[in-house]
């Protein structure tokens, strides 16, 4: 689900991986649908590789999105432009075990914005089977 959805540092929104060339990735903006090359000097990360600091072990972003989806019953979350207190209260209700010292309000806003964007584009699919551990 999140393997082909990318975040590119310095660019707003999220991007869908379209193609991989020798020196760039061809991506499409989920905000406006425009395609462009993302070169290797840009900091590019797949949402699948992002996790949230918690008191125990890190929580994959997919798990966070699933909790948000269940809390909101498949509807959009609060607006990412709400007050810092409202954002913090919302994330505490979704991830009570998050590490308050290492997860900043800016990170929370980004998670909420990404969740709402992916939900709007029908890209949240929690029915996909988790990758099984290597067969013995």
For 73-120, how does the pLDDT look when each residue is reduced to its tens digit (9 = 90+)?
A: 889 999 999 999 999 999 999 999 999 999 999 999 999 999 999 999
In a domain, 82, yes or no: yes
Predicted TM-score of the model (pTM): 0.87
The answer on 111 and 74 residing in a single domain is: yes
Domain span holding position 9: 5-47
The answer on 95 and 62 residing in a single domain is: yes
Residues 32-44 have pLDDT tens digits of 999 999 998 889 9
| Cα four-point dihedral sign 65, 68, 70, 75 | negative
Q: Give the integer Cα–Cα distance in Å for 115 and 109.
A: 10
More confident residue, 128 or 132: 128
Please give the pLDDT value at position 136.
Answer: 40
Q: Give the integer Cα–Cα distance in Å for 47 and 70.
A: 19
pLDDT tier for residue 28 given thresholds of 50, 70 and 90: very high
């Amino acid at each position: 689900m999140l393997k082909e959805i990318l975040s590119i540092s310095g660019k707003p929104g999220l991007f869908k991986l379209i193609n991989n060339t020798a020196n760039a990735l061809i991506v499409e903006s989920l905000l406006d649908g425009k395609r462009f090359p993302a070169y290797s000097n840009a900091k590019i990360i797949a949402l699948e590789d992002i996790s949230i600091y918690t008191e125990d072990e890190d929580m994959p972003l997919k798990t966070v999105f699933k909790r948000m989806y269940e809390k909101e019953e498949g509807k959009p979350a609060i607006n990412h432009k709400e007050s810092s207190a409202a954002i913090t209260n919302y994330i505490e209700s979704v991830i009570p075990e998050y590490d308050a010292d290492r997860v900043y309000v800016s990170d929370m806003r980004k998670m909420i914005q990404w969740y709402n964007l992916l939900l709007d584009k029908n890209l949240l699919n929690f029915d996909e089977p988790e990758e099984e551990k290597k067969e013995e």
